[in-house]
Structure 1
Amino acid sequence: MKRILFALTCGLPILGSARALAAGDGDAPAEVKVKGATTAAQKLQQSAEAVTVVDTRRAQQQSADLGEVLARAQGVAVQRLGGLGANTRLYLNGCNEEEVRFFLDGVPFEYAGFPLDVANVPINFVQRAEIYRGVVPIRFGVDALCGALNLVTAERRDNHLRGSYQVGSFGTNRITLDGRYRNMDSGFVAGASFFLDHAKNNYPVEVEVADALGRSSTATLKRFHDRYMGYGGFAEVGVVDRPWARLLLLKAFASTYDKDLQNNNVMTVPYGEVTYGETIYGATLRYEQPLARNFDLKATASFSRRIIDFIDDSAWGYDWFGRRTTPRFPRGEIENIPHDQTFWQNNAYGNAMLSWAIHPSHIVRVNITPQGNFRTGEERILPTPGAPDPQGGKRNLFKLVTGAEYESHWFGGRLENVVLAKDYVMRMEGEVAGTTSFNSVSTSSHTIGAGDALRYRFTPWLYAKTSYEYATRLPSAFEIFGNGVLIRPNLELEPETSHNFNVGPRVEIKRSPVGSFVVDVNLFYREGDNLITPLLTDKFITYQNVYRARTYGLENGAQWDLPGRWLHLDGSFTFQEQRNVSKEGPFRAFDGDRIPSRPWMYGAWAAELRFYNIVTPSDSIKPFYTGRYVHDFYRSWESQGLTAYKQVIPAQVTHNVGISYILAGPATVTTTFEVQNIADAQVFDVFGLQRPGRAFYLKMTGDI
C-alpha cells in the first residue's frame, strides 16, 4: 500500500532540525526525545546555548546551495552579488557577515580551506549548520559581536562513498565527491573530498542602454562576462578512539577559483575584461585526549596561505551587448587606472581548551586562541614609475582571545547555566606607501567581556533560554587591509563592542493526537558602539565605524507534523530594527536612520509531498516547493536625499518547485529536477545587483 507524506518546510527542518538528525532513515523525519538524547545535535539544541541546529540532508538532494538553505532559517538573511560564485553577505539578527564569525568544524572559516565565503561551500559536504545567536561559546575562541555559524562536516567517520552532480541553467555544473575509511581495530581513519563548480552566469538582466543618438532605454540582455570556475580538494588521515588519543587528525587542503567581474556595484557600468581569483592551501592538525581523571584537552593548529589576484588592464570600454566601444587611455575599466595585482597572505591559528569536570554537574573550561594574518602584495603596473608600490607594504594583524566559563546543572538537569568571561588583544602593524617611501602605521587594543546563558525546562515539552554578553569584535584582516578586489583598506578601523541580549521559549510537543508541534521564539536586543559597517561608492566598498547603533527584533518559526508523518508544516519570520543612534561623529547627521542596505523583515516557507513504494518497496517520490519573501529596504541612509529619488531594493517574493525520486538500498540514489524562481521575478540583493531569474536544474546524488 502506498503511503503519502506531505510536508510544508522551509526547505529544511529549521526548528526541528535536531529531530531530523535523529532519523534512522535518511529521508524520513525523526523526533527529538526530551530524555535520553543521543546525538550531539540534540544535546546542543537543548543546551543553555542560544543555538539553532539546521540539518542539511534534505537540501543535499535538492539544487539549493548552502546560502539558500541558511536564508530559510529564522533570523538569517543572505544577500548575493549575482549568480554562482558571486560574493555573499550573511546577516544574523541584523549583524553583518564580519560581526558574525564563521567556522568549519570549529576552525575559523578563513583557515579552513575554501577560497570563497561560507554560502558557497558545497552543501553535500555539510551535515548540519549550528547558528549561535548572541553569546558565542569560548570553545570557538573568537571575537564575534553578535553570533556565529559553525558548519559541521567531520562527524561521520564510518566507511562511505558519496557524490553528486548538478547541471542547470546559465552553464551551471557542480560536482562533489566524498569518501571515508575507518579501521575499527586500529582506529585508523582516512578521507578525501573534492568539489568542482562552473557557471557561465549568462542570465538575463534589465539594464539601461543608449542608442546611436545617446538616448537611454531599458533592455533585457544576457550577462556576457560573469564566468566562474572553482575547484578544490581535502585529504584527511589520523586515528580515533586510541588510548593515547581520542582523536588525532591531520587535514590538508587546496582550492582555487577564477571569476569574471561583469559590472560595478550598482549595475550601471558594464565591464568586459576585469577578472579576479584566489588560491588557498594549507593544513589543520586536531588533537583531543583526556589528560587525567576529569581533565580533558582539545587543541587545534592551522596554517594557510591565500593568494589573491586582480586584473583590470583593458584597453577598451564595453557596452551591455558585450561590444567594444571606445579605446581607454589610460587603460582600466573600473577607475581609469590599470591594475595587475597579487596579494599574499599567510594565516596562522591555534586553539587550546582545557576542561575540568569538578562534578558531573559542574564543569570549568579555559581557552586560549592566538591567530595572525601577515600580508604583502605587488602592483605590477605602477601609476608612477619609481614610486613605492602602493600594495607592497607589509601588513600584519595579530589577535589573542582568551576565555573561561563555568557550566552548572541544577534541579536534576532542569536548569543549566553557563557563565563566561573573555579577554581580547589586538595589534595591527602596516606600511602605507608615501611619495618616496613607506610610512609605518600601528594600532593596538585591549578589551574584556563577560556573559551568561541560562536554560530552564518547565515541562518535558517546554523550555526557555535567555542569554547576555558584553562582546568585542576586532576588525578582520579583510576589513582593515581590503581584499585586493572591491574592498578598499581602512587602517584606522577600531574594535566594536556590543551588549547582546536574547530570550525566548521553545515548545516541542511529540506524539500528541494532532501530531508533533515545535515553536521557537527569540527576542533580541543589541546596543553597539563603533559598529563597523560596509559603505560603498559605485565602484568600491570601504568598512567604517558607525559611532553607535541599536538593534532589536523578533525571530520565530513553527513546525508541525501530523500523525503518521503524512503532513509536515514549517515556516519562519524575522523582524528587526537596526538604527544608527550616533550623537556625534561623521554619522550624527543620520541619527535615527536604519543602517543602510540591510533587510529588516523577511520570511520563508515551503511544501513537500512524498509517495512511497512507487516501483519498488524501497523507493519514493517527493514533489516539493519553497518560497521566500523580503521586504523592501533602502540602499543608503534613509534620511539622505528626496524621497522620490531614494534608491530602494524592492520587496520580492520567489517560488521554487521540484520533484525528487529516491531509490534506497545498499546504495541510495536520488534524482531531482527543480525550477528555481519559477515566476521569473526580478530579484535584487546587495546595492541593487540583479540575481538570476527562472532557472532549471537536474541533480543526482549517490551514497554507498
Structure 2
Amino acid sequence: MRTKRRLALVLHLLVALDASHAAAQTASSSDESKTPKAPNDASAKDKKEPAEVTVRGKGSPAQRLVRSAESVTVVDLRRAKEQTVDMGEVLARTQGISVARDGGLGSSTRFSLNGLSDEQIRFFLDGVPLASAGFPFGIANVPVNLIERVEVYRGVVPLRFGADALGGAVNLVSLDSNYAPRLSASYQTGSNGIYRLSVDGRTRDIDSGFVFSATAFLDRAKNNYDVDVNATNAAAHLEPVTVPRFHDGYWALGGAVEAGVVDRPWARRLTARVFATGFDKDIQSNLIMTLPYGDVTRKERVYGGTVRYEQPLAKNLELETLANYSRRFMHFTDVGAFTYDWYGRRVGPRLRPGEVEGKPRDQVFWQDAVFARALVTWTLAKDHVLRFAATPSYTVRTGDERADTPLQDVGGAGRLFTLNSGVEYEMNLLEGRLQNIFFVKDYVYRASSNDEFGRSFDVNEHRFGIGNAIRYRVNDWLYAKASYERATRLPSPDETFGDGALIKANPQLEPEESHNINVGPHIEVRRKRIGDITLDVNGFFRDTDNLINVFPATIQTTYQNIFAARAIGVEAGGAWTAPGRFVTLDGSVTYNDFRNTATEGPFAPENGDRVVARPYFFGSWGARFRFRGLPGPNDSVEPYYVGRYVHSFFRAWESQGATGFKDVVDAQVTHAAGVTWAVFAGDTRVASTFEVDNLTDARVFDIFGAQRPGRQFFVKIAADVR
C-alpha cells in the first residue's frame, strides 16, 4: 500500500508539472488569487488538513494573541501556501487593509491600514524591520511559502516591537517557536512569464538543543500583459490602442540560514541568522501611463545578519535581545539615448539622455543600518507583569551620481538616529476575564541630510507617547476590546532620503503624531450544531498632526506633511464553516472617512477633502468547498472562489477640477476561482492548484492610475514533509 501511495504521489507531481507548463504558455492578464478564513482546532482525524487563513482560538501563540487585549488580527498562511495567492492578495482580503500596486509581480505597492499607509505602518520579519531582514522590495512581494503567519496590529503597537508606528504594524512570523523539523518546497508558474520557486527547511536536535533552518526563493516575471494606452499613429495623432508591456521585467533571488541553540540552561535561545537578497526591476512608464520608457531600470541588493539571545535572569525576570546589521545597495539607471513608443520601438535619438526627467541619472546609494532591541519582562506577582524596552537604530546613507552631468548632485545622503523606549504594565484580573495593558513610550529622532541641490538639513526631535488597551471576556464566545494610543511616528530613511529612484528626498519632514482609538467586539463560536462562526468588528478613530503623505506626479513623487488629518471608520470580517467542514463562507468590509482637516499650511485650501489616492470603501467575499476521500481516504479536492470590490476614489484633491473632469480611479470588481487537489502519503502532503485570476478580464487600476494585469492563469504545486 505504501508503494502504491508513493507511486500516486509521483504521478500527481508529473500531472501538476505538465499542467503548470501548459499554463505558462497561456497569455492573458490580471492580478488576484485565493482566500482567507477562520481556524481549525484539528482533530486527530483532520491533523493533516491545513487550517483556515484567519485564526481565532485559544492554545497556540497566534490564538492567544487574538484573545489578548491587543488590537490584532492573525492570518495563518498554511492554506495560502498551497494556492497561487501572493502576500499582497492575502493581506488585501483582511478587513481594514487595502493593498494597491502599479503593475504585476515586483511592482511598487501601497499598503494601507485603517486609512494610514506607507511607512505609517511598520513592517517586521520576526520582529526585525522588513528591509533590514532581507526583503527591501515590500511586503506584497514576500514569498508566502516562507512565512508561517501574519500578525496585523491596528493603531496600537505593542512595546515589544520598539516601533514608532502611527497606524499599526505588520509582523511576518517565519518560524514556529519550537523549530519543529520540516521540509517544504513550492513551484508556481502562469501567465505573463511568472515563475516562483521557494524552499524552506528546518531541524532540531533535542539532546543538544541545536537548531538549524534554511530558506531560499527565486521569482521571475516578464509582466508583459496588455494595457490600454494612447499611442501615436502614422499621422502623428494619438489613438487608443491595446499593447503588451515591453519593459516591465522583474526578478528576485534570496536566501537565509539560521543556526543556534534553544532550551539550554545558559540560553533559552541563542541564534544567528545571515541573509542575502536582491532584485532587478524594469520601469515601463510614468505613474499615470502617459509616457513609455525603454531603458529605465532599478535594482537593490541587501545582505546582513541578526543575532538573538533570550534567557531568564531570575525566577521572575526575563531578558530578550536582538541585534541586526544590514548593508543595502540601490542603483537607479536612466541614461537611455532614445525615445520609445508604446510598441517598444525606438522612435529616434534624444537630444539629451534620460527618459524620466530629460537628464541622465545613474545614481547609486549605499545604506548601512544597525538595529537593536532589549526587552526585560518582570513578573511582579501573579497576573501582574512589567516590561521595559529600548530600541536604538542608526542609519547612514551615502550616494554617488555617476552620470557626468554639470551642476547635478545626488540628494538623499545623510545620517539618521532613533531611540524608541518605554515601559508597559499588564494586569490580568477576574480570573483572566479582564486584561489591561498600560504603557508609556519615549521617542528620540536625530537626522542630518542633504537634498539634490546640496543644501544641508538637521532635525532634532524628542516626543512622548502614552496608551492603554483593555479586553473583557463576556463569556466563552464574546470578547470586548478597546485601545487608545497617543502615537508618534518618525520619518523613515526612504521618506527622508528618498528611495534612490522615483521618490525624491525631503529632509524637512516633521514627525507625525496621532490620537488612535480602536473599539469593538470579537465573536467566536466553535464546534456547535450550526458550525463554526467568527466575527470581528472594529471601529477606529485617527486624529493626526503632520500627516506624511506621498503626492503623485507625472515624473517623481515626494513625501510631504499635511498639517492635520482625521480618519473615522469601521471594519468587519467574519467566516462560517459548516458542520463537517465541507464548506466555508467568509467576507470582510471596510469603510474609512479620511479627510484633510488642516486650517493652515500649503494644504489648507483643500480642508475637508478626502486625503488623496486612498480607497475608502472596499471589501472581499469568498467560498471554499472540501470534498474528502478523493481519490484516497486522506486526500481532498477543494474548489474555491473569491471576489473583491474597491469603490471609486479621487487620485487628486476632490475640490480641484471642474465637475465631470476630476481625477478619479473608477470602482473595480474582480473575481478569482480555483481548485486544489491534495494527496497524502505518510507524513508527506503534496497539493497542486489551478487558478484563474480576474475571471472577467476587468480593467483594474492602482491608486495612481497605472493599469494592472487582466485575466491570468496559474498553476502551483507545493510539497510539505514533517
Corresponding position of 1:84: 105
Deviation at 1:563, TM superposition (A): 1.6
Paired with 2:156 and 2:51, the residues of 1 have a C-alpha distance of 33
Corresponding position of 1:417: 436
Deviation at 1:64, TM superposition (A): 0.8
Q: Is the 8 A contact 1:20 1:30 kept in 2?
A: no
Paired with 1:217 and 1:393, the residues of 2 have a C-alpha distance of 40
Deviation at 1:615, TM superposition (A): 2.0
Corresponding position of 1:340: 362
Q: What's the secondary structure of 1:688's corresponding residue? A: coil
Q: How does 1:23-42 map to 2 (within 5 A)?
A: 24-27=47-50, 37-42=58-63
Q: What's the secondary structure of 1:357's corresponding residue? A: strand
- 2:295 corresponds, among 259, 269, 273, to 273
Deviation at 1:329, TM superposition (A): 1.7
Corresponding position of 1:639: 655
Q: Does 1:110 align with 2:131?
A: yes
Deviation at 1:569, TM superposition (A): 1.4
Q: Does 1:180 align with 2:183?
A: no
Paired with 2:479 and 2:138, the residues of 1 have a C-alpha distance of 34
Deviation at 1:25, TM superposition (A): 2.9
Corresponding position of 1:51: 72
Letter in 1 for 2:355: E
Q: What's the secondary structure of 1:509's corresponding residue? A: strand
Corresponding position of 2:712: 695
Q: Is the 8 A contact 2:457 2:508 kept in 1?
A: no
Root-mean-square deviation (CA), in Å?
1.8
Corresponding position of 2:25: none
Q: Does 1:131 align with 2:152?
A: yes
Q: Does 1:285 align with 2:304?
A: no
Q: Please give the per-residue CA displacement for 1:246-287, whole angstroms capped at 9, x wherever unaligned.
A: 111100000101110000010110000111100000000011
Q: Is the 8 A contact 2:451 2:505 kept in 1?
A: no
Q: What's the secondary structure of 1:67's corresponding residue? A: helix
- From the superposition, tell whether residues 425 and 673 of structure 1 become closer, same or farther in structure 2 (CA, over 3 Å): same
Letter in 2 for 1:481: F
TM-score by length of 1: 0.95
Q: Does 1:396 align with 2:415?
A: yes
Q: Is the 8 A contact 1:364 1:406 kept in 2?
A: yes
Corresponding position of 1:568: 584
- From the superposition, tell whether residues 229 and 205 of structure 1 become closer, same or farther in structure 2 (CA, over 3 Å): same
Letter in 2 for 1:103: F
Q: What's the secondary structure of 2:431's corresponding residue? A: helix
Deviation at 1:646, TM superposition (A): 1.1
- From the superposition, tell whether residues 202 and 455 of structure 1 become closer, same or farther in structure 2 (CA, over 3 Å): same
- From the superposition, tell whether residues 128 and 20 of structure 1 become closer, same or farther in structure 2 (CA, over 3 Å): farther
Deviation at 1:670, TM superposition (A): 0.6
- From the superposition, tell whether residues 690 and 176 of structure 1 become closer, same or farther in structure 2 (CA, over 3 Å): same
Corresponding position of 2:8: none
Q: What's the secondary structure of 2:641's corresponding residue? A: strand
Paired with 1:567 and 1:657, the residues of 2 have a C-alpha distance of 15
Corresponding position of 2:176: 155
Letter in 2 for 1:139: R
Q: Does 1:627 align with 2:643?
A: yes
Corresponding position of 1:587: 603
Q: Is the 8 A contact 1:31 1:510 kept in 2?
A: no
Paired with 1:21 and 1:283, the residues of 2 have a C-alpha distance of 39
Q: How does 1:216-615 map to 2 (within 5 A)?
A: 216-384=238-406, 387=407, 390-391=409-410, 394-432=413-451, 438-615=454-631
Paired with 2:220 and 2:62, the residues of 1 have a C-alpha distance of 33
Range with bigger deviation, 149-158 or 542-551: 149-158
Corresponding position of 2:24: none
Letter in 2 for 1:81: D
Q: What's the secondary structure of 1:686's corresponding residue? A: coil
Paired with 2:552 and 2:534, the residues of 1 have a C-alpha distance of 41
- Residue identity over aligned pairs, in percent, reads 49
Q: What's the secondary structure of 2:50's corresponding residue? A: coil
Range with bigger deviation, 438-447 or 42-51: 438-447
Q: Does 1:674 align with 2:708?
A: no
Q: What's the secondary structure of 2:359's corresponding residue? A: coil
Paired with 1:682 and 1:306, the residues of 2 have a C-alpha distance of 36
- 1:120 corresponds, among 141, 148, 153, to 141
Paired with 1:642 and 1:433, the residues of 2 have a C-alpha distance of 35
Paired with 1:328 and 1:126, the residues of 2 have a C-alpha distance of 46
Q: Is the 8 A contact 1:528 1:549 kept in 2?
A: yes
Q: What's the secondary structure of 2:609's corresponding residue? A: coil
Deviation at 1:134, TM superposition (A): 1.0
Q: Is the 8 A contact 2:56 2:66 kept in 1?
A: no
Q: Is the 8 A contact 1:12 1:56 kept in 2?
A: no
Q: Please give the per-residue CA displacement for 1:390-439, whole angstroms capped at 9, x wherever unaligned.
A: 227740010000011000011000000000000000000123465xxx54
Letter in 1 for 2:686: V
- From the superposition, tell whether residues 28 and 85 of structure 1 become closer, same or farther in structure 2 (CA, over 3 Å): closer
Paired with 1:57 and 1:31, the residues of 2 have a C-alpha distance of 10
Paired with 2:51 and 2:464, the residues of 1 have a C-alpha distance of 46
Q: What's the secondary structure of 2:145's corresponding residue? A: helix
Q: Is the 8 A contact 1:554 1:575 kept in 2?
A: yes
Q: Is the 8 A contact 2:517 2:542 kept in 1?
A: yes
- From the superposition, tell whether residues 19 and 447 of structure 1 become closer, same or farther in structure 2 (CA, over 3 Å): farther
Letter in 2 for 1:25: K
Q: What's the secondary structure of 1:70's corresponding residue? A: helix
Q: Is the 8 A contact 2:99 2:111 kept in 1?
A: yes
Deviation at 1:336, TM superposition (A): 0.8
- From the superposition, tell whether residues 196 and 625 of structure 1 become closer, same or farther in structure 2 (CA, over 3 Å): same
Paired with 1:669 and 1:123, the residues of 2 have a C-alpha distance of 17
- From the superposition, tell whether residues 658 and 394 of structure 1 become closer, same or farther in structure 2 (CA, over 3 Å): closer
- 1:210 corresponds, among 232, 248, 263, to 232
Letter in 2 for 1:248: L
- From the superposition, tell whether residues 79 and 429 of structure 1 become closer, same or farther in structure 2 (CA, over 3 Å): same
Corresponding position of 1:3: none
Q: Please give the per-residue CA displacement for 1:201-254, whole angstroms capped at 9, x wherever unaligned.
A: 000000011212222211110000000011011011100111111111100000
Q: Does 1:200 align with 2:222?
A: yes
Q: What's the secondary structure of 1:659's corresponding residue? A: strand
Q: Is the 8 A contact 1:504 1:521 kept in 2?
A: yes
Paired with 2:574 and 2:154, the residues of 1 have a C-alpha distance of 18
Paired with 1:642 and 1:688, the residues of 2 have a C-alpha distance of 19
Letter in 2 for 1:696: F
Q: What's the secondary structure of 1:335's corresponding residue? A: coil
Q: What's the secondary structure of 2:116's corresponding residue? A: coil
Corresponding position of 1:4: none
Paired with 2:392 and 2:430, the residues of 1 have a C-alpha distance of 38
Range with bigger deviation, 348-357 or 325-334: 325-334
Corresponding position of 1:650: 666
Q: Is the 8 A contact 1:612 1:619 kept in 2?
A: yes
- 1:686 corresponds, among 699, 703, 707, to 703
Paired with 1:675 and 1:50, the residues of 2 have a C-alpha distance of 34
Matched length: 687
- From the superposition, tell whether residues 577 and 432 of structure 1 become closer, same or farther in structure 2 (CA, over 3 Å): closer
Deviation at 1:383, TM superposition (A): 2.1
Paired with 2:455 and 2:556, the residues of 1 have a C-alpha distance of 24
Q: Is the 8 A contact 1:379 1:392 kept in 2?
A: no
Deviation at 1:571, TM superposition (A): 0.5
Paired with 1:76 and 1:32, the residues of 2 have a C-alpha distance of 17
Deviation at 1:440, TM superposition (A): 3.2
